Amino acid sequence: MPHPFIVMTGLSGAGKSIAVKVLEDLGYYTLDNLPPALIPDALRVTREGGGYERVAFVIDVRSGRLFQDAMRVLGQLEEEGRRPHLLYFDASDEVLVRRYSETRHRHPLESPGGVQPSIDEERRQLVELRARADRVIDTTHLSVKDLRDTLHSLYGEGPSGMLVQLTSFGYKYGLPPGADLVFDVRFMENPFYVKELRPLSGSDEPVLAFVLGNPATQRFLDHVVPFLRDVMPRYEEEKKAHLGIAFGCTGGRHRSVAIADEVARRIREFWPGEITVEHRDRDRADVRT
């Protein structure tokens, strides 16, 4: 079941503003930049006065000295049996600096040394909250759509849990930047060299049958699927909200597509959360697999 009481925090520029809009669409009453000391009263007013069952508040360094109350208030709520689900947003320094450069927004902790020292100080102030977080979303390699899909998977109706995104790709076009696990399937027999299969893709039944009919492919699947069954819950235990699994062949049209679809089919048998599949290079005009 979705968490009825969420407190969001994390680094400025890491995606909290987008998250607020997504959670509103999911039926949450949201308050952004709330002084931590006001959380208990805001929770009471929104629930008792407003009748909202699902609420999400954002607290971060924009509240200045008021932010120093954050850990005390969260501890108080836990003692009272009203512990919130703490959602933390993170991103790499390089990406945060780029985002500030592109938007030309001022960092809330702006210092004479520029954005990087401000990010460093913000990380220092957030150390305890990050350690306390129930879920961490790192948006370094997430598109806006990826972030929305992740939040829908975690807090939408239906089974909740870490979003698992499978991607097929071609090595000639580079690795998917958001992949946590990458499997090279170029060792498999190549449908590209079968004349009648070349114009098709791994999404077509003849190519799928050709790839899966190879004993080497079945041995690969017999190893990979149990491996994923074992490690996926462990990634979720480490508060990871989005797991990227990529399968690559030379051009990303035949073998990697067939394997990504087959692995997705198999892990859906045991994974309760949302699973998405993207074929990044399948439809490129000039591919060799």
110-125 residue pLDDT tens: 877 789 999 999 999 9
Q: What is the pLDDT of residues 182-196, one digit of tens each?
A: 999 999 999 999 999
Dihedral sign for Cα atoms in the order 159, 8, 28, 165: negative
Residue 181 scores a pLDDT above 70: yes
Residues in Cβ contact with 162 at an 8 Å cutoff, skipping those fewer than 6 apart: 153, 154, 232, 235, 236, 240, 241, 242, 243, 273
- As a whole number, the mean pLDDT across the chain is 93
What number is the average pLDDT over the span 31-59?
A: 95
Q: pLDDT value at position 93? A: 96
Residue 288 has pLDDT above 60, yes or no: no
Q: Hey, what domains does the chain have and what are their CATH numbers? A: 5-155 (3.40.50.300), 163-279 (no CATH)
Q: What is the DSSP secondary-structure string of 112-181? A: TTBHHHHHHHHHHHTHHHHHH-SEEEE-TT--HHHHHHHHHHHHSSSS-S-EEEEEEEEGGG---TT-SE
- The closest alpha carbon to 91, from 141, 128, 57, belongs to 141
205/208 Cα distance (integer angstroms): 5
256-268 mean pLDDT: 98
pLDDT at residue 31 greater than cutoff 70: yes
- Pick the closest to residue 288 from 175, 193, 217 (CA basis): 193
Q: What is the model's pLDDT at position 112?
A: 78
Q: How confident is the model at residue 76 (pLDDT cuts 50, 70, 90)?
A: very high
For the entire predicted model, the pTM comes to 0.80
Per-residue pLDDT, 225: 98
Q: Is the pLDDT of residue 170 over 90?
A: yes
Helix (H, G, I), strand (E, B), or coil: what is residue 48? helix
- Token pair 């001022």 is found at 106
Greater pLDDT, 59 or 288: 59
Question: What share of the chain has pLDDT > 70, as a percent?
Answer: 97
The residue type of 26 is L
pLDDT at 160: 66
Give me the torsion for CA of 25, 31, 36, 41, rounded to 10°: -110
Q: How many residues does the structure list for the chain?
A: 289
The arithmetic mean of pLDDT across residues 226-241, rounded, is 93
149 Cα distance to chain centroid = 8
Residues 6+ apart with CB under 8 A from 142: 15, 150, 178, 242
Provide the edge-to-edge strand list for the sheet that holds 181-184.
Answer: 181-184, 242-249, 163-170, 275-279
Q: List CB contacts of 275: < 8 A, sequence separation 6 or more.
A: 163, 164, 165, 166, 264, 267, 268
pLDDT at 178: 87
Report pLDDT for 101.
86
Average confidence (pLDDT) over 247-275: 96
Q: Does position 180 have pLDDT exceeding 60, yes or no?
A: yes
Separation between Cα atoms, residue 141 and residue 138, nearest integer Å? 8
Quote the pLDDT of residue 255: 98
Which residue is listed with tokens 């969001």?
Answer: 8
Can you tell me the mean pLDDT for 209-227? 97
**Segment 242-258, tens digit of pLDDT:** 999 999 999 999 999 99
pLDDT at res. 104: 77
Backbone angles phi, psi at 245, to 5 degrees: -120, 125
